[in-house]
Structure 1
Amino acid sequence: MPAGLVISAPASGVGKTTLTLALARAWRNCGLRVQCFKSGPDYIDPAFHAAATGRASVNIDSWAMDRATIAHLVGRGTDADIVLAEGSMGLFDGVAARGVSGTGATADIAEMLGWPVVLVIDPSGQAQTAAAIAAGLRDYHAGVRLAGVVLNRVASPRHEDLVRRALNDAGIAVFGALPRHAEISLPKRHLGLVQAEEQAEIGKLIDEAARYVSEHVDLDAVLRSAAAWSVQPAANGLNVTPPGQRIALARDAAFSFVYPHMLEGWRAAGAEISTFSPLADEAPDASADVCWLPGGYPELHAGKIAANARFRSGLRAFAETRPVHGECGGYMVLGTALTDADGISHEMTGLLGLETSFAKRRMHLGYRLAALAAPMPGHQVGARLRGHEFHYSTIVAQPDTPLAVVHDATGAVIAETGSWRGHATGTFFHLIAEDR
């Protein structure tokens, strides 16, 4: 029977991903089967998990997914020895209004699945106060159980001793303390970590993290703190409808933000997926019946996309007879122009009238609930779609017919409605699930 743990923290940026990867690789090196999950709407971390464990990781999200979907997804861990769910933001951070099965907080997953929490605490600039923070998180909600703490970025042995003593007095186990170690820092950019597939040395980086954590953390104690669990059989499978039978999927460094469970759901429903690279000037497969452009970093490659005539003409020809859908960055590429961070405007495919700009960046972040006013691939008018939006682009023009009425997690209507023209549709949010 597998054992489960949640890796969380008081806030973002304290080392959850690094610790998760290090533990996963260290236990894998010891011969254990390790399964990772990502709590919340992050499409980058699962690829790092897969690199560390050799097993595909997926997102589990209490705001967008019902319990049956989450149970189905975590069922892939039943043949593992240890399951690690990496949290997002702080342990109890979610939205104000409850979604399908929770607020999107990591604590929802910990309580739902009965997995204890290992907290990563960064005590930089403090000492005993770190224990007060840990104790507060331990006692905040009775349904969430704290297994213990790993300290990260401790400044000195004296600093570590002060924090350890305070945590011991509070009755909180300390599994280990990590001094600052720049060599295992994961590179970042404006939407989060630089993707795993873009880092040629990612395997070595994870190995170094595993070695370092093994020296400073009691891996056996962490493993013993995990809770044995068994998945209740889910009445339903994934709540995912494929956009077509044969899907041409853009896939490269500019178009890579796809939730793994979406692709698995498409394939499980019998869809076939063929990938193509716009950056390599490839056109979608002519035998496909739908084309899907996911998000990613088109703003970093706008000049190349604009220059790739074969891709642009091939996509236009495809859209004359068949549906094309873009999410976030993919939506921007379906538009007429994208202005990069240097203020240079690049011509896009022109299937939609959308014009976007990164010259003046403004963060758009949050869950989205969309009621479709027009059909999009795989979904009819009136469908209620749950997703998440995260980008820094601004809308210069969005002249086409709105695709949906879109609300944020508080119920407020937002301006990023998506749009459609002919066979082309696009949204700023990334689809996670459809309301049953």
Structure 2
Amino acid sequence: MALVIAGERSGVGKTTVTLTLLASLRRRDRQVQSFKVGPDYIDPMFHQHVTGRACRNLDPVLTSEAYIQQCFARHSQLSEYTLVEGVMGLFDGVKGSEEGAGEQTGRGAEEENNAQCPMPHAQSPTDFASTAHIARLLDLPVVLVIDCSRLSGSVAAIAHGYKSFDPRIKIAGVILNRVGSDRHLSLLKDSLEPLQLPILGVMRRQDNITIPDRHLGLVPTAELPELNALIDRLADLGDTCFDWQRLLPLLKSESFSFSTSSSLSSSFPVRIAVARDRAFNFYYQDNLDLLQQLGAELVFWSPLEDAGIPKDIQGIYFGGGFPEVFAQQLAENSSVRDAVKTAILKGMPTVAECGGLMYLCEQIIDFEGKSWSMAGVLPTSAVMGGRLTLGYRRAVALQDNLLVKANTTVYGHEFHRSHLTLTPTWPLFKTSRYDCEENMGCEGWGFPANIYASYVHLHWGESREIPQQFLKECLKVSKTV
């Protein structure tokens, strides 16, 4: 068995509840594997900080239903307990089909990118890529987190609605969050009693437990010096607020019968410099694992702190992150900027997603309008703004590039508040919204030919030819300093 933590909507405290459960389990010296539904990078960082194990993303848009089952079976069997954190509200998904992985659809954006793409009814045509979809796919029970801060008797209507909306979903119980007082709790319990739905946890309003956020969500773990103290407070809370006698059997890992993926036969003995620090830390662990399984040695380094790029490498990988927050420090490290530009202009194969793309630009112009020099590989600047670009993308390659061949279709996710001052002359992709097929124009830089720079984040789990193609190009390069 394993357990899914779902919310009745966004903002009810799913992540806080999940971290509280994980922190309390780890204090008990339990080995626990966590998963996160959707494309998010930051919540998995918090999971990993608590558990000491890499959190795995479960996203049928970026991968496939079969890959989710394989990934879940492979990693959950290595731990004593398993916990899955959901995304948005339990049934918040998009149009698609669960009949197979061939035609997939992605979760819509929460702002303007979703304005013309109304969410479908959960069963018409489906709630593809929702928490409910993953719970059905893995046949897991769900615990529903309800924000009780502004309701009392109405909690029963919410719980009843979620319990009865889709009979395929097994609601194991509820966790009542942000309960104000004993009197408040009594009203909630009285209202829920006729439903015979177990209350598996009660979390009171907490003034001393706050995870700071900013323009793209929570502040990542590497920037929170007081995080361990916060996790200790969550563990204290978890020791007393949950019904562990009922929860532990639900969380207990067991063997799953999903088929496993085939092994990788190719081998590429190359060294890849992976930028990983406070500015660049958005990586799917599965992507890094695939590179290593294909024979690559990953050399982690910091464009913020190091004096240069690693020696004897044959490729560079820049993930996403927050280069705009650390733009001044990145700009001041001119030796690294120069080394990156020199290496790329000499032919170093380089993958740069979102924040990495911004770093390869001439400048980053921050929220205050200040300009900071970057690597200067791309003849454009990244300008921070208030508009959030968010959502799944279908992208068709317009040319052969570092990762895919022309006319190949890939599926990814965008999440950024910057835009470029110039569009590429030879773009990588023609993109569209995933669920509406609305044309979004062309995107991505593939010139010079040894770079792949795009705002679209890709998960390589179901597209292993992508890392293979990257490493194949790296193998052609002589090791360089």
- The verdict on a shared fold, with TM-score over 0.5 as the criterion, is yes
Q: Structure 1 residues 310 and 253 mapped into 2: Cα distance closer, same or farther (>3 Å)?
A: same
Paired position in structure 2 for 1:341: 367
- Tell me the residue number matched to 2:166: 141
Q: 1:46 is matched by which residue type in structure 2?
A: P
Taking structure 1 as the reference length, the TM-score comes to 0.93
Residue in 1 that maps onto 2:376:
350
Q: Which residue pairs with 1:408 in the alignment?
A: 433
Counterpart of 1:311 in structure 2 is 336
Aligned equivalent of 2:325? 300
Q: Tell me, yes or no, if structure 1 residue 192 matches structure 2 residue 217.
A: yes
The secondary structure found in structure 2 opposite 1:184 is: coil
- Partner of 1:6 in structure 2? 4
Per the TM alignment, residue 28 of structure 1 is displaced from its structure 2 partner at its CA by 2.8
Query: Structure 2: how far apart are the matches of 1:57 and 1:202?
Result: 18
Q: What is aligned with 2:284? A: 259
> 1:79 Cα shift?
3.1
Match of 1:121 in 2: 146
Q: Is the 8 A contact 1:116 1:227 kept in 2?
A: no
Partners of 2:267 and 2:421 in 1: how far apart? 31
Q: What is the percent sequence identity of the aligned residues?
A: 35
TM normalised by structure 2 equals: 0.84
Shift, 1:135, TM fit: 1.6
Q: Does 1:427 align with 2:454?
A: yes
Q: 1:406 to 1:12 in 2, by over 3 A?
A: same
What are the residue-to-residue correspondences of 1:22-37 with 2, within 5 Å? 22-37=20-35
Map of 2:78 onto structure 1: 79
Aligned to 2:155: 130
Q: 2:62 is matched with which residue?
A: 64
Matched residue SS, 1:310: helix
- Contact 2:80–2:253 under 8 Å retained in 1: no
Secondary structure of residue in 2 paired with 1:362: strand
Asked if the contact 1:400–1:420 (Cα under 8 Å) also holds between the matched residues in 2, the reply is no
Q: What is the Cα deviation at residue 367 of structure 1?
A: 1.0
Q: Is the 8 A contact 1:276 1:283 kept in 2?
A: no
Is contact 2:309–2:339 with CA below 8 Å preserved after alignment? yes
CA distance in structure 2 between the partners assigned to 1:245 and 1:385 by the alignment? 25
Q: Match for residue 137 of structure 2?
A: 112
**2 CA distance for matches of 1:132 and 1:63?**
32
Q: 3-state SS of the aligned residue for 1:363?
A: strand
Say if 2:319 is the partner of 1:289: no
3-state SS of 1:111 partner: helix
1:374 has 2:399 as partner: yes
Secondary structure in 1 matching 2:320 = coil
Q: Are residues 1:90 and 2:89 paired?
A: yes
Post-superposition CA distance 1:66-95 (Å, at most 9, x none): 233212321211132221000111111122
CA RMSD of aligned residues (A): 2.4
Letter in 2 for 1:91: L
Cα gap change, 1:348/1:242 in structure 2, threshold over 3 Å: closer, same or farther? farther
Opposite residue 444 of structure 2, the aligned amino acid is: G
Unaligned runs of 5+ in 2: 98-102, 106-126, 465-481
TM-superposed CA distance for 1:286, in Å, is 4.2
Q: Distance in 2 between matches of 1:233 and 1:174?
A: 31
Q: 1:180 maps to which residue?
A: 205
Please state whether the residue corresponding to 1:382 is helix, strand or coil: coil
- Structure of greater relative contact order (alpha carbons < 8 Å, 6+ residues apart): 2
Moved more, 376-385 or 251-260: 376-385
Give the Cα–Cα distance (whole angstroms) in 2 for the partners of residues 29 and 51 of structure 1: 13
Residue pair 2:271, 2:315 contacting (<8 A) in 1 also? yes
Measure the CA separation in 2 of the matches of 1:238 and 1:95.
32
Instruction: Return the alpha-carbon distance in structure 1 between the equivalents of residues 430 and 269 of structure 2.
Output: 23
Query: How many residues in Structure 1 have an aligned counterpart in Structure 2?
Result: 433
Cα shift readout 1:44-78 (whole Å, capped 9, x = no counterpart) = 12221122222221111122222332123212111
> SS at 1:234's partner residue?
coil
CA contact (8 A) 1:284 1:291 kept: no
Give runs of aligned pairs for residues 160-171 of structure 1, distance below 5 A.
160-171=185-196
